[in-house]
A and B are shown apart, each in its own frame.
Chain A
Amino acid sequence: QVQLQQSGPGLVKPSQTLSLTCAISGDSVSSNSASWNWIRQSPSRGLEWLGRTCYRSKWYNDYAVSVKSRITINPDTSKNQFSLQLNSVTPEDTAVYYCAREAPGLDYWGQGTLVTVSS
């Protein structure tokens, strides 16, 4: 059974960096048949896909245009996890953040982390 466990702070100050980690059990971040995604949900935006990392003989990353200049998703094979960094956050980045596996469709999700951007 695949499980995704999220960790990271729930409060970030404006202009700082949002950092979250998603630990994987029951699968591998290096799987060549899955991709590992970050999605957020807010009342104003609904579900918004932020980006993904996947391994297909080499590592690939794809990012949403809306955050492309501020986002980094990194795999960590030694800990079997992947991370999200979102720089220069504003209150508009306040949302519930989820990690999820796509294989196909987003079949396993983390528990969600409410991240509030406020001073």
Chain B
Amino acid sequence: DIVMTQSPDSLAVSLGERATINCKSSQSVLYSSNNKNYLAWYQHKPGQPPKLLIYWASTRESGVPDRFSGSGSGTDFTLTISSLQAEDVAVYYCHQYYDTPRTFGQGTKVEIK
């Protein structure tokens, strides 16, 4: 199985400041034939299903604010919230869909400082 490890486990950021979440996979999720990284990011708020933010490591899902961005390739990835808003308080997960079984990181809880 591909193990996904996120850091940090929790993060407190002031409103308007940058939040950065890292995700490392135990093996590359870059498919060489199409040069795509099979990596997605989700936002999960209590009482709601997770929401897809980013896929192919850096493609923003339709309707997702542009303060959310994804970067990285191979085994190391980052989700950045450029200017934290109150509504961004949530748990964020990375997820690989390169291989089965699909696997998720353990989650990073983002709070307001």
Contact = CB atoms under 8 A, between A and B. Distances in A.
Contact of A106 (B42, B103, B106, B107): B42
B93 A46 contact: yes
Contact of B95 (A52, A98, A105): A105
Interface in A74-119: 98, 100, 102, 104-107, 109-112
A104 B52 CA distance: 10
B52 A106 contact: yes
A52 B101 CA distance: 9
B88 interface: no
Looking at chain A's contact residues, the main secondary structure is strand
A102 B97 contact: yes
Interface residues of B, number: 25
Contacts of B101: 49, 62-65
A41 B104 CA distance: 11
B72 interface: no
Contact of B52 (A107, A111, A112): A107
B49 A112 contact: yes
Nearest to B102: A49
A62 B100 contact: yes
Contacts of A27: none
A37 interface: yes
Given A46-B105, A47-B95, 8 more contacts: A48-B104, A49-B101, A62-B101, A102-B102, A104-B55, A106-B42, A106-B50, A107-B55
Interface of A: 37, 41, 46-49, 52, 62-65, 98, 100, 102, 104-107, 109-112
